[in-house]
Structure 1
Amino acid sequence: MLYKFKSKVTGDLIMLEPNGRQILQLIGKDDPTSAHKGILLPADMPAAIAALEHAIAQDDAAQQQHLQEAQAAGKTQSPADGVTLRQRALPFIEMLQRCQKADKEVVWGV
């Protein structure tokens, strides 16, 4: 399944199901009805952006700690093993910021 986030002021943002579900969970839209079909109103966007930015900061810290532990153990590990939450969430944050500025909602599953 794919998540397709739509708005009237940005292009569509498409995510694979696990990634879209993670984003929705982070912004508090993880109930069964919102998971497949929902709307995020401009008034709710500042809280959603703040929640995503907080989750990104936590993920960045965990990635940095993991990298330091690997280096301390003598393992060579690149800092970019896989796609980070920051890379996945930033396009969505940018979408929310533009929609909030234009006072337009974001919808998915419609």
Structure 2
Amino acid sequence: MLYKFKSKTTGDVIMLQPNGQRVLDIIGKDAAGAKGIILPEQMSAAVDALEAAIAKEESEQKAAVADALARGEPAPRFEAISLRQRALPFIEMLRRCEKAGTEIVWGV
């Protein structure tokens, strides 16, 4: 399944199901629903939540690398594509739609 986020202001942002579900979970939207909407007044909080999750992931990865190196072990491997890379187009979409006052929908 794909998540196709649409708005009248921007181009579509398409994510595979696990990535789209993770983003929706982070911003507090029910990813189990096949359809949904993000209103302009919810977008600032969504951006903040995504940026906090990105910072947390990067901090945890940096700590894991430092811990492994301190123990003389090889650095752990992480997903090739980070949350930052996956979420950045969606964050940009949120910012542009908030500025324009348009909602973002998926599953419609």
What TM-score do you get using the length of structure 1 for normalisation? 0.89
Aligned-pair RMSD on alpha carbons? 1.7
Structure 1 residue ranges (4+ consecutive) displaced by more than 4 angstroms after TM superposition: 78-81
From 54, 57, 60, the equivalent of 1:59 is 57
Count the aligned residue pairs.
108
- Tell me which residue corresponds to 2:106: 108
C-alpha separation in 2, matches of 1:9 and 1:58: 30
Where does the alignment leave 5 or more consecutive residues of structure 2 unmatched?
A: none
- Tell me which residue corresponds to 2:19: 19
8 Å CA contact 2:68–2:76 kept in 1: the answer is no
Where does the alignment leave 5 or more consecutive residues of structure 1 unmatched?
A: none
C-alpha separation in 2, matches of 1:69 and 1:52: 26
User: Which segment is superposed worse, 94-103 or 81-90?
Assistant: 81-90
C-alpha separation in 2, matches of 1:18 and 1:81: 13
| Alpha carbons of structure 1 residues 8 and 25: separation in structure 2 relative to 1, 3 Å | same
C-alpha separation in 2, matches of 1:85 and 1:107: 21
| Alpha carbons of structure 1 residues 76 and 32: separation in structure 2 relative to 1, 3 Å | closer
Q: C-alpha deviations, 1:12-59, integer Å up to 9, x for none?
A: 1010000000000011112633xx210101011011111111111111
Q: Percent identity?
A: 56
| Alpha carbons of structure 1 residues 17 and 49: separation in structure 2 relative to 1, 3 Å | same
- Tell me which residue corresponds to 2:83: 85
- Tell me which residue corresponds to 1:32: 32
8 Å CA contact 2:7–2:104 kept in 1: the answer is yes
